[in-house]
Amino acid sequence: MSNASDRLTFVNRLTLNEGDRRKLAQAATRGAQSRVARGVYMDAAAWAQLDEDLRYLARVRAVVGTRRNRPVLSHWSAAVVHGLPIVGRWPNAVHTTVAPTAGGRNRNGIVAHTARLADEDVVEVDGLLVTSITRTVLDVAACASFMVAVTMVDHVLHVDRFHRSAPAAVRSDLDAQFERARPMRAHARVRRVFAFAETRADTPIESVSRVNMLAIGCPRPLLQSAFRDRFGFIGETDFDWPDFGLLGEADGARKYLDAAYRSGRTVEQVMLDEKDREDRLRALPRSVSRWRWRVGVNPGLLRAHLSAAGLPMGVPWDWHIRD
């Protein structure tokens, strides 16, 4: 993101030559410049190349760059800096946290939350002051929907089974953060999110699907079950219902389009490998049900899809909120 950030033009940093400012305003009117935040612009062609994550991150950096004092970014704004996934769209506003004595105000595209932050709750990432990753997911869990919050916490807790990286946090970190933040509003919501989060959810579509499985009451699945056949290791499946002989695979586009996930393979080779993998799973024998994001994010569609695959509905899950 540093390259995109370098393309930001701050009006308050221009020379006193009013002609430069006037030309910038005229370029924005023509559509040659995109207004990223109040008094901050980016070349329209460069802006068009950014995805939604990078656009919000650019907006966050733009707002920070117009402040006299360095704000502490929090909530969604800290989440995008930490690289956490979002379900839906990022907000337009930039979120900060200030001391209770400062008083929270929403002005000029900035939402200021009031809270007492311990020293360990604030870190510096890429030159920005942000709430720590555990404080960030706690704040999001207190404000956002259950689905949005679970997806972020799953990402933070995720244990890479290939040991390419360590998890961003472990459950004891979340427990310590929760205790440090008390007393707090919405503590029951936060505790519910933390209790439901899993270390074995690989992708946002898996997290979203699991939240909707709870909502529709299909039997609770096992996550990342490993399977082998006479040829060796087949792989791990996203969801497994052994009592029903059913495996579930939530397919996001990233598996096919992101070069990091393809490990040097072409899209066509990934598709062929997935077909071979599914054929081996069906030969165990197991049924395999696949769905894409449109189904996973919609409880009604997911209910119909899993019902057609043979799962009953209205089954309560045995999970507990820890005290």
pLDDT digits (tens, 9 = 90+) for 4-13: 667 898 887 7
Residue 15 has pLDDT above 70, yes or no: no
Residue 64 has pLDDT above 90, yes or no: yes
Return the minimum-mean-pLDDT range out of 79-88, 90-99, 270-279.
270-279
**Cα 253 to Cα 36: distance, rounded to the nearest angstrom:** 28
Burial 263-298 (b: 16+ CB within 10 A, else e): eeeeeeebeeebeebbebbeeeebebbebebebbbe
- For the chain, the 3-state helix, strand and coil shares in percent, each to the nearest 5, are 45, 20, 35
Strand arrangement of the beta sheet that strand 40-43 belongs to = 9-10, 40-43, 33-37
Please, which residues bridge with residue 229 across strands?
232
Tokens for 264? 């040097």
Give the pLDDT band of residue 142 (cuts 50, 70, 90): very high
Chain centre distance of CA 268: 28
| pLDDT at res. 281 | 93
Task: Give the largest CA-CA distance in the chain.
Answer: 76
The pTM is what?
A: 0.89
Strand positions, DSSP E, 92-182: 94-98, 106-107, 110-114, 122-125, 128-131
The DSSP bridge pattern shows strands 106-107 and 122-125 to be: unpaired
| pLDDT at res. 1 | 46
| pLDDT at res. 130 | 98
| pLDDT at res. 322 | 45
Percentage, residues of the chain above pLDDT 90 = 68
Residue 31 has pLDDT above 80, yes or no: yes
Residue 2 has pLDDT above 70, yes or no: no
* Type of residue found at 105: R
* Cβ contact 45:30 at 8 Å: no
Residue 277 has pLDDT above 90, yes or no: no
Mean pLDDT of the chain: 89
Angle at 140 between CA 255 and CA 92, to 5 degrees: 80
Residue 22 has pLDDT above 60, yes or no: yes
CB atoms within 10 A of CB 55: 19
Residue 141 has pLDDT above 80, yes or no: yes
